[in-house]
Structure 1
Amino acid sequence: MKQIAAIGLAFGFAVSLSGCSRSASPAADNSTSPSSSWSTLGTRAEPAAAATSITSNADAKWVDYNPPATYPNMNTTLSTITMADGTQLSAAVTLPADASGKSVTQALPTIVTLTGYNKNSPGNDAINSYAITHGYAQVVVDVRGTGGSQGQWEAFGATEQGDDRPILDWVVAQPFCNGRIGLYGGSLLAINAALAAAKNHPAVKAAFLIVPMADGYRDIVFTGGQTNLGFIPLWLGLVTADSVLNPEVLQNPASGIPLELTQLLSALTNFQVPLLLKAIVGDSDTVYDGAFWQIRSPIEQANNIHVPTFIVGGLQDIFQRGEPLLYETIKRNAPAKLLIGPWTHIATGNGLPVDGVPVLDHITLQWFDKYLRGQDSGAEQLPNVTQYVYGLGHYVSTTDWPNPQASVQRLYMRGDKSLRAEQPAQGEASNVTLQVPLNGVCSASAAQWTAGALGAVPLPCITDDGLAEALDVHYETAPLTNDLYLNGPIAVDLWVSTTGSDGGVAVRVDDVSGNTVSPLTNGLQTLSMSAVDTTRSRTLDEQIIQPWHTFTQAAQLTVTPGAPMKISVEVFPTSALIKTGHKLRISVGPSDFPHGLPPLPSLVGGVIGALTIYSDAQHVSSVLLPVVPTSTLP
């Protein structure tokens, strides 16, 4: 597990601290036009609004920016940063060095990384050696309660975020920093970078975020109101293990051993283990959305990010939902770019360079050379949005996300299990599936929601969803007579009933060719947690294509056994070309384990029974698709 985490969960992240005086925030360097087709997706603080689409930079091309290294070596030293409450944070400062091993003495632009995975842990790749050998300093800081730092870890909590500005102040005051900082990192480190960027420290001039989260509740921990048992226990255990297995203890056992014991006791009694147990048993402060999740969700602060920001995401990433949302928000106030590959979390960047898209280190250097050094690196001329397209097998660039040329298409789930443009008639049959809570153990989503770890096992069920959907109800189009290009979020509106007092619905979207069921994306929803706030939901052509569920205790619905109820399932965004002769499948089932398991109260109410999906004129079930003209593809 540690090796897997080192590959992807602990991407090198640097929060670059810069200048002592505030400069004017750069305006986004893309022209926009009103979009009558899309709205934005709201947040806890803001309702949805009419969207604007970037229309410039349509002919942009990727270039490989790979200048020769200016330094052959680098040196790392440990430092301590003391917070106002006396808590001491451990920091590693890495500087470029000449051929003789002597560190540079001039002040440099500085990359800052805020990690929870222990900067000194074996295999931790938080240090970006490529950037350092090209003339950058880097500071990697263990956030409080992790690694070599004192205090209690609370996963992006208010106290931890309160350390951001003092850390940046400390970096700016060091002789190695020239006052210009870039925030950088992946996964947890990218989340910390986004939260730090929102603090508007005058020294921060740019950010490079690799697979960041946007909404802690909706993206990952309680998708659809269900506890994510694929990733969250793995992640909480990883942070704890990285802190306990601390090489610094060998250097100073007298202080290191007590620190380790304190962190382990905190994990067992104060945060990690109690949080997981609360999620499983249904603690109201944890399983419902509220202040705990709001403070930990970067999307709630993204409007405050005014520095050029590059975001990297993945179509199979655990933060698949949130990465384009962060781009969409930040682009309003600063230059922003978005790159989405066909990656799981731990495989981010694999396969590059391809289709002209360079490796991530080269893009990072190009971004920082432009916005930290002011060099003519061409970063501002890169494509605004580049996404891998399933079915096409290539990366495609566009001017914006969501795609400005998308329009909505609604297909209806019919009683004969077909998927058609015509609405159902009176008396069409319903379809039934058993409420099995552990369906999907071997599936593409199981690989995705274990951060790609399960996908490392070469099992056919990881790339073909036929087995995972064996108990599901499948709604399929006829073989397509024309290619179908989908790009964006998907909504599945269902009329269902259950024989229990609650239940879950899992939706999978597939490209079917012959006997091969190729997974594209998925969604999850608990029946009692299906209340939708229409004022915060995203629309396309005035139809809700990305529902915003409230997930509050006050909005929880009563599920009456046997009574039909309408629910809307948010299916996470995808980018896919379904070719002529293939079929589009919408698979509806009762569960998607370990992606989600309802908290015990809901689980007990729906663990045994049957789920009915209706398809008649009074109970119309359908899917809303974001369709883009295939003429936009190369």
Structure 2
Amino acid sequence: MYSRRIVLWVTALLIAFAQPCLAEQVDSGVPGMIFDHDVPVTMTDGVQLRVNIYRPEKSGRYPVLMLMGPYGKDTSMADAPAYKTSWGKLIAKYPDLCRKSSCRYIRFEAPDPERWVADGYIVIHADVRGAGASPGVLDPFSPRETEDYATLITWAARQAWSSGKVGLLGTSFQAINQYQVAALQPEGLAAILPWEGAFDQYREIAYYGGILNVAWEFWWTHQVVPNQNGNAQTPLVDSINGGTDTGAPLAPDVLKQNRVDPVEAFAQHPFDDTYYRQRTPDASQIKVPLLDVANWTDWSTAGYRFAASKGKWLRIQTGDHLTPFYSDEALALQKRFFDHFLKGVDNGWEKEPRVAVQIRRPNGTVWRNAGAWPLPGTRWQRYYLDAANASMAPGLEHLASAQKSYAGLGDELTFTTKPFSKETEFTGPIGVRLWVGSSTADMDIFAALRLIDPQGRDVTFIGNSDPNVPLNLGYLRVSHRAVDRTKSTLYQPFHPHVASEPMTPGRLYPVDVEFTEPTSIVIPRGYRLALTIQGRDFGYGPDANIVHANDYPLPDAHNSGLFFAAHPNRDAKLYGGTNTVATGRDHASYLLLPRIPR
């Protein structure tokens, strides 16, 4: 006998699939495109989310591209305070963008519907529960939110104008939730294209190496909460009808009850527990074709590496995570992928190289295709650290023992190679093994792999969220040093992050620093590599001696990449001790690099 809960769930599901489109049809202003605004779709618990539907005027059944996010399906990127900088960079990069489209419907990190509808696609953009016009509790990446997405996908696949095939497209937030919902295998889902989205909710979002990432507080406060459903004080303007698109006003105390602050939730869950496992997809259940577009700085090759899909492709690029998404080259790539899997077009996609990587140089980049990841022929090379003279080099397994100490919250240790005598390439995952100790019961390790030019300047690169980043960044809270060897590889340790093991002051411990993403660099003759170890955020200040590969200005921030560690859980008494790195003989510390033979 079915339980009452199951009967109610099935009844709500049937209502959701049977309901008509109660659309407010708006003149799109775009020839050949119909715009259905604020269409209600009922979820399994009876809550109605709101979606925008952009579809061809010519009758027929078309494949659907869908995305679901918290930023406002009706919020113009050009006018919203939180997105004006991004919009300015986008238009500066592609000044003719709005000559190919009216740009009226471009939303933050979302595809431009005009450029898809014209090629026979329907685009559906949904406000997540609790955001914009969709009521309910705003709880990013929650199981409830993922279930909503699955309901929307199947609803779209069953509409009269749909071919029954749904693909997912979007960047950042709208890439992360693609992995989540794909693991539920909803009816109608035919392919996904997550563009620079994280996969592991603990290791890539909440905690880096076991250290809480409070950078999300800025995202939450400036980009998400302003668009909360019921927020009468929102600065965001409804670009379709004017005014606001956040529904009926709610009292401040009700608004607070209707949202779950992610950083507060992260702080309450310092270990990789059920909270994160409910939000990290079961990769074995992701079986649809996927194209994972990753970035050398943050987010993420994990979806490609772990998904069970037989048809999966990986591209790793440089640059920020927004402007490349809107380039003509990106649009052509996206359309080739979806034309093949949603329309059945025989365009040779199946012969597309499984891996394509954008190899970085100090003066530019070049694309390279490969059949697997890491790249075939990779030779793993250890650069051994020597604390006696702050150097590192290959082939020094039998160095004399040495130690060097530094203040946990102030100083740093940097180990530098000799100038390279010939051009050398390193492309792939990296690792750092250190022997460390502290005068306290714990320590945080912030590691930065840097490229130094012949004039002694740091060469920086454009990162996912920062225009000046080093080659790579790694993190580890030493009390989280335990490694699961069954899930680890030579180049990628897997820390379970399920318990804290305090250090004994003065004792040395071997630790493997966690790097979530790989790197790529062709090092010219005369350049050097440097590995910096410290106990605080790594970053470049306005007075840093750097040269950017693309002449970007010096930043004001003092942290690099999508990470910031300042938080009350960084107790100075615990993490501000005197830290020590040991090298040589029984305490061999090294940097593991993926050398690509010429």
Superposition deviation, residue 130 in structure 1: 1.2
Correspondence for 1:532:
483
Aligned counterparts of 1:266 and 1:311: Cα–Cα separation in 2: 39
1:256 Cα deviation after fit: 5.4
Name the CA distance, whole Å, in 1 between partners of 2:245 and 2:597: 63
Q: Give the secondary structure class of the aligned counterpart of 1:393.
A: strand
1:496 deviates by 1.2
- Which residue of structure 1 aligns with residue 178 of structure 2? 193
Which residue number in structure 2 is paired with residue 609 of structure 1?
577
Q: 1 CA distance for matches of 2:52 and 2:240? A: 17
Structure 1 CA distance for aligned equivalents of residues 131 and 217 of structure 2? 17
Extract structure 1 runs of 4+ deviating beyond 4 A: 246-257, 264-267, 424-427
Which residue identity lines up with residue 472 of structure 1 in the other structure? E
1:249 & 1:363 partners in 2: Cα distance? Answer: 29
- TM-score scaled by length of structure 1: 0.73
Q: Deviations along 1:533-571, whole A, 9 cap, x unmatched? A: 1111123xxxxx11111111xx31112222222211022
Residue 524 of structure 1 aligns with an amino acid whose one-letter code is Y
Residue identity opposite 1:75 in structure 2: I
Unaligned segments of structure 1, at least 5 residues = 1-19, 21-70, 97-102, 353-357, 438-470, 540-544
- Selected match of 2:67 from 105, 113, 116: 113
- Cα deviation per residue 1:348-384 (whole Å; 9 max; x = unaligned)? 448x5xxxxx621111111111111111223222222
- SS of the equivalent of 2:429 reads strand
Letter in 2 for 1:548: F
**What is the distance in 2 between the residues matched to 1:225 and 1:347?**
31
RMSD of aligned C-alpha atoms?
2.7
Matched with 2:416 is: 476
Aligned partner (choices 457, 480, 504) of residue 516 of structure 1: 457
Following superposition of structure 1 onto structure 2, how do residues 332-411 of structure 1 map, counting pairs within 5 Å? 332-349=308-325, 359-391=329-361, 393-411=365-383
Q: Quick check: 1:225–1:598 contact (8 Å CA) kept in 2?
A: no
Matching of residues 534-613 of structure 1 within 5 Å? 534-539=485-490, 545-552=491-498, 555-571=499-515, 572-592=517-537, 594=559, 595-597=563-565, 600-613=568-581
Equivalent pair of 2:67/2:170 in contact (CA under 8 Å): yes
1:574 deviates by: 0.8
1:77 paired to 2:36: yes
In 1, Cα distance between equivalents of 2:489 and 2:398: 29
Please give the secondary structure, in 2, of the residue aligned with 1:585: strand
What amino acid maps onto 2:391 in structure 1?
Answer: S
The whole-number CA distance in structure 2 between the counterparts of 1:181 and 1:276 is 32
Counterpart secondary structure, 2:471? strand
Q: Tell me the amino acid that sits aligned with residue 617 of structure 1.
A: R
Map of 1:307 onto structure 2:
288
Following superposition, the deviation at residue 528 of structure 1 comes to 1.3
Aligned to 2:132, the other structure's residue is in SS state: coil
Task: Verify the 8 A CA contact 2:446 2:536 in the aligned structure 1.
Answer: yes
- TM-score, normalised to structure 2, is 0.77
CA contact (8 A) 2:139 2:259 kept: yes
Match for residue 620 of structure 1?
588
Using the alignment, how far apart are the partners of 1:522 and 1:75 within structure 2? 46
State the SS of the aligned residue for 1:475.
strand
Please give the residue correspondences for 1:242-321 in structure 2 after superposition, counting only pairs within 5 Å.
242-243=227-228, 244=231, 245=234, 247=237, 257-258=247-248, 260-261=249-250, 265=253, 268-269=256-257, 271-273=259-261, 275-277=262-264, 279=266, 282-283=267-268, 286-298=269-281, 301-316=282-297, 318-319=298-299
Partners of 2:390 and 2:416 within 8 A in 1 = yes
2:404 counterpart of 1:417: no
Alignment partners' CA distance in 1, 2:274 and 2:226: 28
Per the TM alignment, residue 227 of structure 1 is displaced from its structure 2 partner at its CA by 1.7
Alignment: residue pair count: 495
What is the match of residue 88 of structure 1?
A: 48
Correspondence 1:160-175 to 2 at 5 A: 160-175=145-160
Q: 1:393 to 1:495 in 2, by over 3 A?
A: same
Partner of 2:404: 431
Per-residue deviation at 1:425? 5.1
Give the C-alpha shift of residue 599 in structure 1.
5.5
Q: Which residue of 2 aligns with 1:490?
A: 430
Note if contact 1:91-1:141 (Cα within 8 Å) is conserved in structure 2. Answer: yes
**Secondary structure of residue in 1 paired with 2:116:** helix
CA contact (8 A) 1:118 1:242 kept: yes
Query: Residues 428-482 of structure 1, C-alpha deviation per residue, up to 9 Å, x if partnerless?
Result: 3312222227xxxxxxxxxxxxxxxxxxxxxxxxxxxxxxxxx421212222233
**Unaligned runs of at least 5 residues, structure 2:** 1-16, 18-29, 78-106, 460-469, 539-558
- The amino acid of 2:196's aligned partner reads V
Deviation at 1:73, TM superposition (A): 3.8
Higher relative contact order (CA 8 A, sep 6+): 1
Deviation at 1:216, TM superposition (A): 1.3
Label 1:232 to 1:537 Cα distance change in 2 as closer, same or farther (>3 A).
farther
Give 1:507 shift: 0.9
Q: Tell me, yes or no, if the aligned pair for 1:288 and 1:551 is still in contact at 8 Å.
A: yes
Cα separation, 1, equivalents of 2:124 and 2:207:
33
Contact 2:74 2:245 in 1 (8 A): no
The 2-side partners of 1:559 and 1:254 are apart by: 53
Give, in whole Å, the separation in 1 of the partners of 2:312 and 2:329. Answer: 18
Query: Contact 1:503 / 1:602 at 8 angstroms: preserved in 2?
Result: no
CA distance in 1, matches of 2:201, 2:408: 27
SS in structure 1 of the partner of residue 402 of structure 2: coil
- Range with bigger deviation, 505-514 or 425-434: 425-434
Assess, with a 3 A threshold, how the Cα gap between structure 1 residues 510 and 361 changes in structure 2: closer, same or farther.
same
How far apart, in 2, do the equivalents of 1:255 and 1:128 lie?
19
Aligned to 2:130: 145
- Give distance in 2, aligned partners of 1:249 and 1:627: 50
Shift of 1:523: 0.2
Deviation of 1:229 after TM superposition, in Å, equals 2.5
